[in-house]
Amino acid sequence: MTETVQRQFPTFEKFGQELPKVHSIEDNVDSVKIRWSDGNTRVFEKAMLSHFSSPIPESDLLNPVHELWDKDSFPKPEPADYKMLLSENSREAERQKIFRSLLKHGFAYISGTPTEHAATIEACRALTVTQPNCFGDDWSFTADLAKPDTAYTNIGIGLHTDATYYNEPMGIQVFHVLDHQGEGGETMLGDGYKAIELLQKQSPESVEYLSNYQLMHEYIDHSTPGSHVRSIGTILTKNPITKEIFRLRFNNHDRCPIPVADMEEFYFHYIKLGKIIQSGEINFRRRLPPGTVLLVDNYRVMHGRTSFTGKRQVSGLYLTRDDWVSGARKHDLVDHFFL
């Protein structure tokens, strides 16, 4: 049906019966008109037919839409503008700018944002769909251990991806430093896809192992009502069609114990990846200025922070993966098979 773009053919009634045959084909510039033997006529757009008959692309380690980087080649994408993102007249151009940056670099900025938690939420809702979770719908926090998580302290945190304990981890992590009166507190970013590329050159068998081994992660909050979230999945996740790696799940602090029989082989491969991530080669540091919202692709870019002094107020929330990729697809920025 054209209005809903949903399938209307009665598959379960017609399957096994003799179906109508093509009676005639009328070839037009942008469409094909087919008359069937039962008298029905349908018009199909050529672009649609081409889209659904496209061959599966040749498999690469990573999708070529991504531009990999390390600490020495850290990109400087043009930020989106807060007011323009909120304006209906300019919103789509700003959304496209953000989606393009997320695809190429794994992160994006929104500048000119008021240093208020409500403004962080408003900007994100203008972009895509937010993702509530066990930490709440969104948060504005400081180092007060309001939650049993190292994010709520002032100690340094190494590179990692978030929500490894969710079977469907959060798509985008949002950071907005509202205020910091003190020293340190630099945001660290590391391109996980670059780490995977380096691991592939050093140890292809490790990439294969980490793409297949099923590992558990968990988060436990003993308060009331509390949480006990647990996932089972691979550290490197491949697109089942193209075989490209599209998700890195890496947080050593939230990893469950390994069965004794698996320990030797698991640590052999896992430590190779960990050493690349901790080597400093892919680690870029920047102190985020208040008013700049940072959006991080949690399937690709790891984040962390250096220790700090003083009061540091951070606003944030998560955004869903499927919905921001949907926005990129609507802007023709990704191919048919992209996840």
71 has pLDDT over 90: yes
Tell me the mean pLDDT in the region 197-211: 98
Tell me the mean pLDDT in the region 296-306: 97
The one-letter amino acid code at 45 reads E
Tell me the mean pLDDT in the region 29-38: 85
Cα–Cα distance between 199 and 274 in angstroms, integer? Answer: 10
Tell me the mean pLDDT in the region 210-235: 96
pLDDT, one tens digit per residue, over 243-271 is 999 999 999 999 999 999 999 999 999 99
Q: Which residues contact 132 (CB under 8 A, 6 or more apart)?
A: 318
Cα–Cα distance between 137 and 127 in angstroms, integer? Answer: 16
Cα–Cα distance between 215 and 332 in angstroms, integer? Answer: 35
Tell me the mean pLDDT in the region 158-181: 96
pLDDT of residue 93: 98
287 has pLDDT over 70: yes
Cα–Cα distance between 124 and 145 in angstroms, integer? Answer: 25
pLDDT of residue 16: 65
Beta strands 80-81 and 107-111 are parallel
Other beta carbons within 10 Å of 159: 23
The domain made up of 80-330 has a fold known as Double-stranded beta-helix (3.60.130)
1 has pLDDT over 70: no
Secondary element (H or E) of residue 52: helix 46-52
Cα–Cα distance between 221 and 3 in angstroms, integer? Answer: 46
DSSP class of 290: T
CA trace torsion 231, 235, 241, 244 (10° rounding): 150
pLDDT, one tens digit per residue, over 79-101 is 999 999 999 999 999 999 999 99
Q: Buried (b) or exposed (e) across 223-244, using 16+ Cβ within 10 A?
A: eeeebebebebbbbbbeeebeb
288 has pLDDT over 60: yes
pLDDT of residue 48: 76
10 has pLDDT over 80: no
Domain ranges in the chain are: 11-52, 80-330
